[in-house]
């Protein structure tokens, strides 16, 4: 309600006695407004005339319905936006997964599997691998090496080992796929079985059988600390089984090189049966230049000079393992002197017995130990062109 002044523009709100207002007074040029306070209605110029607004049940219900509808509408719109973003993200991940699949030779692998009939080899989906490894949780890591990281995983109730390889060079796609096709057919007592793969990540994932026991590295550590006694016969049997496994990989139609031969990659199943693991990501062409790989202490000096992975490099690494089995010493001493150089000096000076593990030294075993030492020496010869082959090593053992 308004009241117009006849005296020009004055502030009537400052003269309440002359211009009474019992609500909200607002000065306006030439007049003023007087309204009831919020939540009331009536004539604000009359004292006590502004009465509280009382909503009827019908009005309250109507307001509640409108408010509920608005909340529901905004909630639905919000849910729709979230689902839309999720769908866009999922589509992007699917496109990316397909790109990785093609990049790693997935289509080529499918075609070759049809021809070869590899029914026992499984191509796993990206999500199954993520769930099985709890999104590659560090707590699932059971091994790390120069060629990738290995995770413990459970797929369809079965415990498996999943190896996350390094990224594959585009020029090596054909070699990698052919290597997988060959490996999935390998059935050797002393080689961990390759069960499948997933090619929908930035780097290939290989799925292997899980060996529930120790590694040769752990067994050697127990022997060094005198917490477990490993007989000479057991040591040489493990060496013989491992050598036979490597020799088998090299004898395949396309030889499979390992590139990181060390005790940690020789698993020990029930009864301390050796099982060679952590293969499948190495370059299979002997003449190809590759990125340096391997573990210090086991790397062939020839490889460090040429960066060309050959079967001879694996033989050298195996020779170091033989030395560890005979001496229970690490590849490097506390003084950083290599076990290889100490062994070669001992062989030249006739002081081998001083280097050996005293737990296996006795008159009855020395002849066998000497033969094993000569074999190890043949594995460590430089240059590698004069070394024994893994097949000869396996036969000798």
The 10s digit of each residue's pLDDT in 46-99 is 888 888 887 666 666 777 778 777 787 777 777 777 776 777 777 777 788 888
Note the pLDDT of residue 177: 83
Q: What is the pLDDT of residues 195-229, one digit of tens each?
A: 999 999 988 899 999 998 889 999 999 999 888 89
Task: Indicate if the pLDDT at residue 120 is higher than 80.
Answer: no
The domain 2-52 is placed in CATH, from the list 2.10.25, 3.30.420, 2.40.360, 3.30.70, at 2.10.25
Residues 205 and 200: their CA atoms lie apart, in Å, by 8
Note the pLDDT of residue 285: 37
Note the pLDDT of residue 182: 83
Give the pLDDT band of residue 153 (cuts 50, 70, 90). very high
Whole-model pTM: value is 0.73
Note the pLDDT of residue 367: 92
Task: Indicate if the pLDDT at residue 138 is higher than 80.
Answer: yes
Note the pLDDT of residue 210: 93
Task: Indicate if the pLDDT at residue 279 is higher than 90.
Answer: no
Active site residue 221: no
Give the pLDDT band of residue 280 (cuts 50, 70, 90). low
Asked if CATH classification 1.10.287.110 holds for the domain at 214-396, the reply, yes or no, is no
Note the pLDDT of residue 288: 43
Task: Indicate if the pLDDT at residue 5 is higher than 70.
Answer: no
Residues 60 and 69: their CA atoms lie apart, in Å, by 14
Enumerate residues 6+ apart whose C-beta is below 8 A from 329. Answer: 224, 323, 339, 342, 355, 357
Give ranges for CATH 3.30.200.20 in the chain. Answer: 106-209
The third-level CATH classification (topology) of the domain covering 106-209 is: Phosphorylase Kinase; domain 1 (3.30.200)
Residues 329 and 356: their CA atoms lie apart, in Å, by 9
Note the pLDDT of residue 312: 94
3-state secondary structure of 145: strand
Residues 268 and 235: their CA atoms lie apart, in Å, by 12
Candidate list 244, 260, 300, 357, residue with the active-site label: 260
Note the pLDDT of residue 321: 98
Give the pLDDT band of residue 192 (cuts 50, 70, 90). very high
Average pLDDT over residues 139-144: 88
Residue written as token pair 């992975």: 309
Give ranges for CATH 1.10.510.10 in the chain. Answer: 214-396
Note the pLDDT of residue 31: 81
Note the pLDDT of residue 289: 43
Return the minimum-mean-pLDDT range out of 21-30, 114-123, 351-360, 371-380. 114-123
Q: What is the pLDDT of residues 339-368, one digit of tens each?
A: 999 999 999 999 999 999 999 998 778 999
Give ranges for CATH 2.10.25 in the chain. Answer: 2-52
Ordered alpha helix ranges (H), the chain: 57-103, 106-116, 126-132, 173-183, 216-224, 232-250, 301-306, 311-327, 339-349, 352-355, 363-379, 390-396
Which has the higher per-residue pLDDT, 300 or 9?
300
Average pLDDT over residues 303-319: 90
């Amino acid at each position: 309600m308004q009241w117009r002044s006849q005296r020009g523009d004055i502030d009537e709100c400052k003269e309440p006695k002359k211009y009474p207002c019992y609500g909200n007074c607002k000065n306006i040029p030439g007049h003023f407004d007087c309204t009831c306070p919020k939540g009331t209605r009536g004539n604000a110029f009359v004292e006590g005339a502004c009465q509280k607004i009382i909503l009827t049940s019908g009005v309250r219900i109507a307001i509640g319905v409108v408010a509920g509808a608005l909340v529901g509408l905004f909630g639905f719109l919000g849910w729709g936006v979230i689902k839309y973003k999720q769908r866009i993200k999922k589509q992007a991940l699917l496109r990316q997964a397909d790109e990785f699949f093609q990049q790693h030779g997935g289509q080529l692998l499918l075609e070759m599997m049809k021809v070869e009939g590899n029914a026992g080899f499984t191509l796993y989906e990206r999500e199954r691998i993520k769930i099985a490894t709890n999104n590659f949780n560090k707590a699932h890591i059971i091994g790390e090496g120069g060629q990738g990281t290995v995770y413990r995983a459970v797929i369809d109730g079965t415990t498996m080992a999943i190896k996350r390889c390094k990224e594959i060079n585009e020029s090596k796609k054909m070699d990698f796929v052919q290597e997988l096709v060959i490996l999935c057919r390998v059935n050797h007592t002393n080689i961990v079985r390759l069960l499948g793969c997933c090619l929908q990540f930035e780097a290939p994932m290989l799925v292997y059988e899980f060996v529930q026991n120790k590694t040769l590295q752990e067994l050697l550590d127990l022997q060094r600390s005198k917490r477990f006694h490993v007989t000479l016969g057991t040591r040489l049997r493990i060496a013989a089984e491992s050598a036979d496994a490597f020799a088998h990989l090299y004898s395949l139609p396309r030889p499979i090189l390992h590139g990181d031969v060390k005790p940690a990659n020789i698993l020990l199943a029930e009864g301390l049966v050796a099982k060679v693991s952590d293969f499948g990501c190495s370059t299979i062409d002997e003449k190809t230049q590759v990125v340096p790989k391997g573990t210090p202490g086991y790397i062939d000096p020839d490889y460090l000079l040429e960066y060309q992975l050959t079967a001879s490099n694996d033989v050298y690494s195996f020779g170091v393992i033989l030395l560890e089995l005979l001496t229970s010493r690490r590849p490097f001493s506390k003084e950083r002197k290599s076990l290889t150089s100490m062994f070669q000096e001992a062989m030249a000076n006739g002081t081998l017995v001083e280097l050996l593990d005293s737990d296996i030294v006795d008159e009855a075993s020395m002849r066998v130990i000497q033969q094993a030492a000569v074999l190890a020496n043949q594995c460590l010869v430089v240059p590698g062109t004069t070394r024994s082959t893994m097949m000869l090593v396996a036969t000798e053992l």
